[in-house]
A and B are shown apart, each in its own frame.
Chain A
């Protein structure tokens, strides 16, 4: 956390710029790793945003919420309802998603934050599972239960009707005339992701962010220093809940439907994994983690036995068959196995996540450069002498 004061303004703007460039050129570099299609890139951006927000709670305060998928789900439902009742424009939809998930997070956070540690985690998990079950059964009139909520051509869309817009074919989210599917959808998410990253950077560098880390480090001292830790934690919880709601909203923007399964505990667990895998409490870690998991989910799960056979076709049949037998449990429907191994390796050898790994590599390269440059200088000096 040294960087809070040490990092300069210039360096922060450079970080933001580099991040924006990486995000906006994703369609180009995505092709190299086989991820250059909009569906997956949208997921990178959306779950990256989800993880950034989650990191503000978990990374800065250390409070492990196990129920953030509930806010993701609320965001999706609100967005679809906005499409149904108001307009197909994405801007009011995502804004409403942020507001509603924020209110929802305020309620759940207020109750859950009465406890800390494992009890807090269990409370958030309980609330999220309650929300899931409500969405699945009791609240069917609002959520359309098992089938999921869809946007229909016959929906009222008061604002669109008033403005005289009509919809042909299946309704899709728009941004002042542009349909937000495929690459336009990705770029919309990318802009939101960069904004979300910028806000997270601001929070990391603010007194508020430092106080959150202080609460994580020593709550007793924080209390005796004159800070009431509860409202700080609640704010962090609500902010991360709003991020989750925004991410849920974007999911519904690029594909206008919402289902209860988005709120299930596995979805809550996924964002925890993303954050830990990438690096808890770091700026980039959660996004790296989110991208990695989504990459595995979409690319590794797509490799079947036939694809493997193609890859190893240059080998003799016996060797190729052996390799396929060994590798096939780890790809295709077994991709969770690879992810699990990766996760274990990271936790054991890099407790700071992948970003710690990158940091180590960067440090090594720096050291090598320093060594080689100093030795060169020496050689030159020797030569002159």
Chain B
């Protein structure tokens, strides 16, 4: 464990969180290794979203520590602080800027990466931001969206909105990418496209935490899976181990299923 310590991007130890009388998370221990895709699965109401929001300091943990690159995220940071530390996030419903063009959507996160949380560049013209424009365009070409770059992002299909949102995260080269059910509510075709893209991202060596319902997605992407049930991690391991784990079958898949 001591040799692997340096490779751990996000280190969660002994985190508890309760809402009123309800224990949402109990004694969560989770180590996210660099370059790995770590999936968190579990039935509805298991506390997956709570865990994700606590991980990034959006919800304040009652006890325990969450270490990200030397920062203790239990202090309760603002979302923009979290992002500036190097964590980008994809939401269940794609969060993009529908009134801006696709190109502008991808350029804005690049500004955040370059300029920080605030910069008053009133007199600089967007036309002179050639570097960022080129970078955004390059990324859009990879996603086969370059032709539509002057269209409003709001006109995209759901699958393409997700791809755009991923592009907006990728241009920041985050140290950690959080994906909250990236294929939720998507048609099969869009889901497959998204999986292909996520595999591509995985190959680039980006560290990811993914919350997902769709087992097909989880088993095609994850290096490691943690199973969450009723606020506690009941199993952890590689996909093959998890597939056969009796506790997981009982809690997640139902007793007679698969």
Contact flags (1/0) for A77-115 with B, using CB distance below 8 Å?
000000000000000000000000000000000000000
| Closest Cβ neighbor of A281 among chain B residues | B99
Interface centre among B83, B104, B133, B172 (most CB of A within 10 A): B104
| Closest Cβ neighbor of B174 among chain A residues | A226
| A214 contacts B by Cβ under 8 Å | yes
Given contacts A2-B152, A214-B108, contact A220 B95 (CB under 8 A): yes
| B143 contacts A by Cβ under 8 Å | no
- Which residues of A are found within 8 Å of B80, using beta-carbon distances? 223-229
| B6 contacts A by Cβ under 8 Å | no
- Which residues of A are found within 8 Å of B103, using beta-carbon distances? 5
* Interface size bracket, B side: 35 or more
- Which residues of A are found within 8 Å of B115, using beta-carbon distances? 207
| Closest Cβ neighbor of A8 among chain B residues | B127
Q: In the complex, what distance in Å separates the CA atom of A229 from the CA atom of B82?
A: 14
B95 touching A1, Cβ below 8 Å: no
Q: In the complex, what distance in Å separates the CA atom of A203 from the CA atom of B88?
A: 28
Given contacts A6-B150, A226-B80, contact A217 B122 (CB under 8 A): no
Interface of chain A: mostly helix, strand, loop or mixed? helix
| A218 contacts B by Cβ under 8 Å | yes
Scan residues 163-184 of chain B and give those whose CB is less than 8 A from a CB of chain A: 168, 172
| B126 contacts A by Cβ under 8 Å | yes
A208 touching B120, Cβ below 8 Å: yes
Given contacts A218-B96, A225-B168, contact A211 B83 (CB under 8 A): no
B126 touching A4, Cβ below 8 Å: yes
B99 touching A216, Cβ below 8 Å: yes
- Which residues of B are found within 8 Å of A216, using beta-carbon distances? 99
Interface centre among A207, A225, A229 (most CB of B within 10 A): A225
Contact flags (1/0) for A219-237 with B, using CB distance below 8 Å?
0111111111101100100
Q: In the complex, what distance in Å separates the CA atom of A210 from the CA atom of B150?
A: 14
Q: In the complex, what distance in Å separates the CA atom of A213 from the CA atom of B108?
A: 11
| 8 Å CB contact of A225 from B100, B108, B129 | B108
Q: In the complex, what distance in Å separates the CA atom of A213 from the CA atom of B152?
A: 13
| B188 contacts A by Cβ under 8 Å | no
Q: In the complex, what distance in Å separates the CA atom of A211 from the CA atom of B107?
A: 10
| Closest Cβ neighbor of B56 among chain A residues | A224
B123 touching A202, Cβ below 8 Å: yes
A370 CB to closest chain B CB (Å) equals 20
- Which residues of B are found within 8 Å of A217, using beta-carbon distances? 97-100
* Chain A to chain B contacts (Cβ below 8 Å), 27 pairs: A1-B104, A2-B152, A4-B104, A5-B127, A5-B150, A206-B125, A206-B126, A207-B124, A208-B122, A210-B100, A210-B107, A211-B111, A214-B100, A214-B104, A218-B95, A218-B97, A223-B79, A223-B80, A224-B83, A224-B88, A224-B89, A225-B168, A226-B80, A226-B117, A227-B118, A229-B80, A231-B120
Extra contacts, 6 of them, besides A9-B125, A223-B79 (Cβ < 8 A), are A2-B152, A208-B122, A210-B104, A216-B99, A218-B98, A226-B117
8 nearest CB pairs, A to B: A226-B83, A226-B112, A223-B79, A228-B117, A221-B95, A217-B97, A217-B99, A231-B118
